[in-house]
A = this chain, B = another copy of it.
Amino acid sequence: MVDPSDLSPEQLTVASLGQAQHKSPLRKSLYPGDGLGDFVADDMRMLYEPRFRQGEPLSQLSFERAGAREKLFFDPGKTKVAIVTCGGLCPGINNVIRSLVLELTFNYGVQNVWGFRYGFQGLNPEQSRLPMALTPKVVEDIHHRGGTILGTSRGHQSPEVMAHCLADQGFDILFCIGGDGTQHGAHSIASEIARRELPISVVGIPKTIDNDIRFCFRTFGYYTAVAEAETVVDRAHVEAKSILNGVGLVKLMGREAGFIAAAAALASGEANFVLVPEVDFPLEGENGFLAKLQHRLATREHAVVVVAEGAGQDWMPSRTKEHDASGNRRLADVGPFLKQKIQESCAAASLPVKVKYFDPSYHIRSVPATAADSLLCERLARNAVHAAMAGKTDMLIGLWHNHFIHVPLAISTGAKKQLSPEGELWQAVLALTGQ
């Protein structure tokens, strides 16, 4: 959790391309109660922190609220829009693409929507495939499929090259669907565009299966991932219970944040140990994980262990300094390491153990979105369109207290949201596992 005292109102101010002068074609009004949906004015805010202590003052720190604006910066009939998807797969990307296209086309009347291919590579003319035209017909059925119809890639491209590509091809808006690295890239593009004083809007749509983007209470794909991960934990439980001293060991996604591991464990209700990056757990020693696991086996004869991929990095000597093409630190593989440690320590204790290891990562992220995520994608996309058409830029759509907000890219990127060890989710894990 970010401490509100770290943020200033200035940092929460969203950049704009300029005066919005075109009348919105949406059938909404400024007046609640007339049966029409309401336009949102720029001075409508969402409080950062609604929790308070009786008698103590509330901090006024707040976000700009998302929603349709009465005036648009871009003239829809003349607007050319691009969409790009970057980084790893996440359930719901195609839903977002579809809703962007449908909102732009049917509701705003934009006729010119394109998809860059294979991530930021697509904005580099040297490397790229041609962009594909995105029409309602093209996106008609895509939301029932996992993956991204645009393709994706990892890795850095020059902001100058990408900004030039957009300007050169006459694009007015770029929607960047991606995680922290992607939004960082989007910020670079927006900065380069600002430097060149071009009227091009760059709007981010946060995509992180790990649920680790700041100011996004929940990101799309996360619930779908938890649902898939839950089935893995449930199956690990079946395997563990089917033999004497069976251990079901499940490695789940979560490089910096244990949200998926914690939530899957809770949803399943079958995990006995949950290891996440945010909470240190000694491996060896009397109160260490291995001793506790042996105790569990001695008394209950089976156990289920859920470990986030970023957990236990300190346990492993081979912790590397390398980074992948997206700039993510390469992690040592905690799954096989832990499997071996469990086997060795149990062997030393003459406890005959059988470890069944589950590593489902790609299996989880390639599925279509479940309904709860489809709903989120749909609303996220439409709010992104509203923001971009109004000339907002260098920002992403966040979710705060169940309402959508505008978050400047400068503050949403660079650091990641993490599980709070004292927060409710982790405390619920402790309540369940008693670990």
| A33-81 interface with B by 8 A CB criterion | 33-38, 41, 43-47, 50-55, 58, 60, 62, 65, 67
Inter-chain contact A401/B50, CB cutoff 8 Å: yes
Query: What is the distance, in angstroms, from A120's C-beta to the closest C-beta of chain B?
Result: 13
User: How far apart are the CA atoms of A362 and B143 in the complex, in Å?
Assistant: 22
Known: A89-B239, A269-B378. A263 touches B371 (CB 8 A): yes
Inter-chain contact A367/B227, CB cutoff 8 Å: no
Query: What is the distance, in angstroms, from A423's C-beta to the closest C-beta of chain B?
Result: 8
Inter-chain contact A118/B243, CB cutoff 8 Å: yes
In the complex, which residue of chain B has the Cβ closest to the Cβ of A119? Answer: B243
Query: What is the distance, in angstroms, from A70's C-beta to the closest C-beta of chain B?
Result: 15
Within 8 Å by CB of A371, from B227, B374, B404, lies: B227
Query: What is the distance, in angstroms, from A62's C-beta to the closest C-beta of chain B?
Result: 7
| A353-406 interface with B by 8 A CB criterion | 356-360, 362-363, 366-367, 370-372, 374-375, 378-379, 382, 401-404
Tell me, yes or no, whether A326 is within 8 Å of chain B by CB.
no
Each complex incorporates copies of this chain amounting to: 4
What are the residues of chain B within 8 A of A434 when measuring CB–CB? 106-107
Inter-chain contact A402/B217, CB cutoff 8 Å: yes
Inter-chain contact A148/B362, CB cutoff 8 Å: no
Query: What is the distance, in angstroms, from A169's C-beta to the closest C-beta of chain B?
Result: 21
Query: What is the distance, in angstroms, from A403's C-beta to the closest C-beta of chain B?
Result: 7
Inter-chain contact A267/B235, CB cutoff 8 Å: no
Tell me, yes or no, whether A431 is within 8 Å of chain B by CB.
yes
Tell me, yes or no, whether A340 is within 8 Å of chain B by CB.
no
Within 8 Å by CB of A37, from B38, B367, B430, lies: B430
What are the residues of chain B within 8 A of A19 when measuring CB–CB? none
Query: What is the distance, in angstroms, from A219's C-beta to the closest C-beta of chain B?
Result: 13
In the complex, which residue of chain B has the Cβ closest to the Cβ of A228? Answer: B371
Inter-chain contact A267/B226, CB cutoff 8 Å: no
Tell me, yes or no, whether A427 is within 8 Å of chain B by CB.
yes
Tell me, yes or no, whether A292 is within 8 Å of chain B by CB.
no
In the complex, which residue of chain B has the Cβ closest to the Cβ of A423? Answer: B37
A47-B51, A106-B431 are known contacts; what are 4 more A-B pairs with Cβ within 8 Å?
A44-B51, A44-B54, A102-B431, A151-B241
